[in-house]
Amino acid sequence: MKILRILTKTIITLLIASIAWVVVYKYIPIPGTPLMLIRKIQDNAPIHYNWQPIEKISPHLPLAVVSSEDNLFTQHNGFDFKAIEQARHDAQNGKRLRGASTISQQTAKNVFLWNGRSWLRKGLEAYYTMLIELIWGKERIMEVYLNCIEMGNGIYGASAVAQHHFDKKASQLSRNECALIAASLPNPRKMNSSRPSKYMYKRQKAILRLMRLIGEVKYK
């Protein structure tokens, strides 16, 4: 019984701490992420990261990442079950693996967790995804995503990629540049938005077409 009480108290403490962590991050700039630390240890290279409020980021960039990564971002509650089912179906039929993570899931993973494919990490990712959907809301999730997502070697977020790849401020990024950045996101350490390949230009064109169809990102 004593062990059970200790276990129960530990679980409750961890739950309260995780909720408090999410609440605090709703209001303050994210100081850094586990991935930044992991990359720093792995590569021993500088980390380029400069938080910017969403109002100082080009409005083309949220539209580009929604068009590229998560078309239903403003409509789902954190999970795109159709995409998950399609990915499962493709895997069972031996087709190329495709990502099914939403922007919300990617944000939860990048800000609170580590890379990996274990069931524990996936379970925690689902838990934190539900928390940020409930506590942060869509606009804050997008703001954190645009600031913390890896966009190149040692480059995190809109401000850093705008400075190091395009020599400008995040607010000055053009529609075409934002589409190129979005095109690089599946593998930003190999696909460089400042030196795009033919494949990236092809993805850019597809993203630009979707951007025209979607029109704008409406958070409410």
Residue 115: which residues within 8 A CB-CB, separation 6 or more?
A: 35, 38, 109
Chain segment 149-202, per-residue pLDDT in tens: 999 999 999 999 999 999 999 999 999 999 999 999 999 999 999 999 999 999
Is 8 contained in some domain? no
Report the chain's terminal Cα–Cα distance, integer Å. Answer: 48
Domain carrying residue 87: 50-214
Is 113 contained in some domain? yes
Is 27 contained in some domain? no
Is 10 contained in some domain? no
Chain segment 142-161, per-residue pLDDT in tens: 999 999 999 999 999 999 99
Q: Which two tokens stand for residue 197?
A: 């390949």
Is 158 contained in some domain? yes
E strand or H helix that includes residue 36: helix 34-43
- Quote the CA–CA distance of 191 and 199 in Å, as a whole number: 9
The CATH number assigned to the domain holding 192 equals 1.10.3810.10
Chain segment 127-137, per-residue pLDDT in tens: 999 999 999 99
Long-range CB contacts (< 8 A, 24+ apart) of 70-75?
Answer: 70/102, 70/103, 70/104, 71/210, 71/214, 72/102, 73/102, 73/103, 73/104, 73/138, 73/142, 73/217, 74/138, 74/217, 74/218, 74/219
Chain segment 55-80, per-residue pLDDT in tens: 999 999 999 999 999 999 999 998 87
Its pTM surpasses 0.85: yes
Is 35 contained in some domain? no
What was the pLDDT predicted at 18? 95
Is 178 contained in some domain? yes
Is 17 contained in some domain? no
Give CA separation, 46 vs 164, 166, 189, in Å: 13, 18, 14
Q: Which of 143, 145, 106 is nearest to 128 (CA)?
A: 106
Q: Which two tokens stand for residue 203?
A: 């993805």
Number of domains in the chain: 1
